[in-house]
Structure 1
């Protein structure tokens, strides 16, 4: 992955300044000599406002807007290069709906692509990762809930398609006329399955990139209790899905002075920052000051980046590999332990369920379906718990399928 760009996804609760932070990081990267793209996946993006450019939603993956030397910007929407492929699937769905008598106007509404924004963003990011055009890609993500849906999509979609497509393709190849007559509905053609298969392959590539040493997430927050609580939850959720957080940025910190009114804010923010450094211990914490004016345009953004500094831990250079701590399996005698990092989680936050060859992990309503490694498919869960920021699930052999001595 030597030619793969360094990817940084920037997220946080709405209104904390994640777009400004992402734009400032991109300006700093470009002015350090890196070919940098900053792209927004937020439907209600304000990236153009932050950069002080007229940024419109791109019609294609390749369409980016030059901002200054080495810096380009892009806004991705539901129709960014997905429309052509989606037309193949949409035409098939319209045929199905027509065959069962659905009004054409209603059918048009029913075939709006679900998750189009997330799919488009991931496919576009995948294109940029392999284009060779960029050294750094900074992604200005939507607020946290949308970001989690975006990052969960490659694995979730892959899980379903891995189980559906092989059987579906074999069935349709052998039984298309009979299946169509039996169902009373038109069967999808090979072109429909080809589009879905292609999307699956792209999603797998993006998932591999985003969980590699070339990608990380940066959480932006302000030193307020409600915002800190949400940032703690997203750290746990990102870890659940295998994504590395390389830093948190505490934004809009009011400079300390003798003004009585600001002194009260200083005290409250100081307490908030203490909570943040404790909560995110082991992850670099950066502080960005509350400036006298809104940082708009490359010069102001470069100034903001220059004033942003680490107060806890040391931020690794962008060129350095990201420390990835994903799921692993450890042998313990004749037993096995599945280990998944879950910082800030407690045992009471986690629900587990075994479903055939999958383990379903739910943390505070955020769910991941983990396809178990082959060795664990022949085992049963003995116990589970969270200790030192890790979920540890202990498995023992299922004697019915894996008797001792074999």
Structure 2
């Protein structure tokens, strides 16, 4: 299955573009699953058709239900982050009943739980994994949060797995054989065992989500209005996606105004939009309807086109051997749209902390670079080139 993640700055029309993309693909004969966690259910209004309302919700994957928007429409699934949060916390309490009893704590009931900030991201990622496992669908279109939050959500599985590995390393379980004996002496299951089992389950869940995000059939479609604010937001979003090696399938310039209007204000707006469109080569343009889109006829006018079937490639970060010429190895990190002021890097042990704009990623160094020291970096043609000089103590030169 192909997965298309639609995001962009807030208010740019990403939900409309997601719905139009899904409807267009469904009418072209593909079986499409459209996911959204946006409160207020704006997809229902966008896809509203009195002659063909949403059908009954049926299970399409484990833990995921969807309803078809008419006989030729996509299947629509809403992500209920509040319900996800309640179910997960209740299950967590059940697994830790013995520990809670030992501490004298009282479990919380599902009816008294309200979701905490950040629950939306976890619910979205879990729904994404479930959608990828749904049978019978060709394409899943996901209406993502605004760009900054979307990039953070896509980076979350890898970051949390790193935290788990650091805080609860597998080698700490070496004394496993002693735990049953200790549990009998204490009279309750040992917290360490419960904690490590929970960590292993979380890691497996996060690994499955990370595999979906890193799959060559997962891509991002960025939506923005052409203009200074849209340009800046899109540049930073593209920078964050490049940092996490998530490929961008296309850029959609939404609400464009045609040139040649007799109205001076509209003519000026069209000229400003053309200026920024020139900096988005290959962007797919959608017209401004002069009203809020509603219904399938409007969505048909705003279909940005189908997703290409060819799988996307995650941008490689190659290591260039320049030892013979310059005595260095160069790690080449593609960051299109980056500016020098956006970037910072810090070497910490065998990892590199790389900052690009508001985003940060901690990446392990390739094995060859672990025996080197960072000797400089330069940004050239949208690519960060980090120079590493071999450490003679770790990589002695041969005479």
TM over 0.5: yes
**In 1: Cα distance, 2:117 partner to 2:260 partner:** 51
Give the distance between the partners of 1:90 and 1:235, measured in 2 at CA: 40
Cα 1:162–1:295, aligned 2, differ >3 Å: closer, same or farther? same
**Among 193, 217, 236, which residue is 1:189 paired with?**
193
User: How far 1:400 sits from its partner (Å)?
Assistant: 2.6
CA RMSD of aligned residues (A): 3.6
Shift in Å, 1:154: 1.4
Alignment match, 1:313: none
Distance 2:124 2:57 in 1: 11
TM-score (norm 1): 0.82
Q: Using the alignment, how far apart are the partners of 1:110 and 1:383 within structure 2? A: 51
Residue 338 in structure 1 maps to residue 331 in structure 2: yes
Residue 115 of structure 1: CA displacement?
A: 3.3
Partner of 1:377: 370
Secondary structure of the residue aligned to 1:353 is strand
CA distance in 2, matches of 1:325, 1:197: 30
- Counterparts of 1:55 and 1:365 in 2: how far apart (Å)? 42
Which has the higher mean CA deviation after the structures are superposed, 168-177 or 140-149?
168-177
The structural deviation recorded for 1:152 is 1.0
SS in 1 for 2:319: strand
Residues 226-305 of structure 1: pairs in structure 2 closer than 5 A: 226-260=229-263, 263-278=264-279, 280-281=280-281, 284-305=282-303
Give SS of 1:404's match: coil
Task: Tell me what 1:29 maps to.
Answer: 25
Residue number in structure 2 paired with 1:63: 65
User: After the TM superposition, which of the residue ranges 246-255 and 30-39 deviates more from structure 2?
Assistant: 246-255
SS in 1 for 2:191: coil
The residue aligned with 1:312 is: none
TM-score by length of 2: 0.83
Provide the residue aligned with 1:133 in structure 2.
136
In structure 2, do the counterparts of structure 1 residues 118 and 317 end up closer, same or farther at CA, with 3 Å as the change threshold?
closer
Change (3 A) 1:356 1:24: same
* SS in structure 1 of the partner of residue 3 of structure 2: strand
Question: Which 10-residue stretch deviates more, 330-339 or 364-373?
Answer: 330-339
Structure 1: 5+ residue stretches without partners: 310-315
- Cα offset for 1:29? 0.7
Structure 1 position 120, deviation (Å): 2.1
Rounded Cα–Cα distance in structure 1 between residues aligned with 2:205 and 2:75:
23
- State the partner residue of 1:351: 344
Asked whether 1:46 is paired with 2:36, we answer no
Structure 2, gaps ≥5 residues long: none
Which one has a bigger Cα radius of gyration? 2
Q: Is 1:9–2:14 an aligned residue pair? A: no
SS in 2 for 1:380: strand
1:111-135 Cα offsets, whole Å, 9 max, x none, are 9666332222212211221333211
Match of 1:144 in 2: 147
Cα displacement (A) at 1:225: 1.6
User: Counterparts of 1:155-170 in structure 2 under 5 Å?
Assistant: 155-163=158-166, 164-170=168-174
Which residue, out of 373, 393, 398, partners 1:400? 393
Q: Is the 8 A contact 1:172 1:187 kept in 2?
A: no
CA distance in structure 2 between the partners assigned to 1:117 and 1:180 by the alignment: 40
CA distance in 2, matches of 1:137, 1:100: 45
Q: What SS is found at the alignment partner of 2:393?
A: coil
Say which SS state the counterpart of residue 189 (structure 1) adopts: helix
Query: 1:62: how far off?
Result: 2.7
Contact 1:329 1:337 survives alignment (8 Å) = yes
Which residue number corresponds to residue 204 of structure 2?
A: 201
Q: How many residues align?
A: 386
SS of 2:38's equivalent?
A: coil
Q: Which moved more, 1:211-220 or 1:319-328?
A: 319-328
Aligned mates of 1:286, 1:208 — CA distance in 2: 29
Asked if 1:364 corresponds to 2:339, the answer is no
C-alpha distance after superposition, 1:291-332 (max 9, x if no partner):
144322233312321xx58xxxxxx85212224324333322
- 1:18 aligns with one of 14, 21, 26: 14
Residue matched to 2:120:
117
Structure-2 change in CA distance of 1:174 and 1:42 (3 Å): farther
Matched, 1:219 2:212: no
Offset, 1:224: 2.8
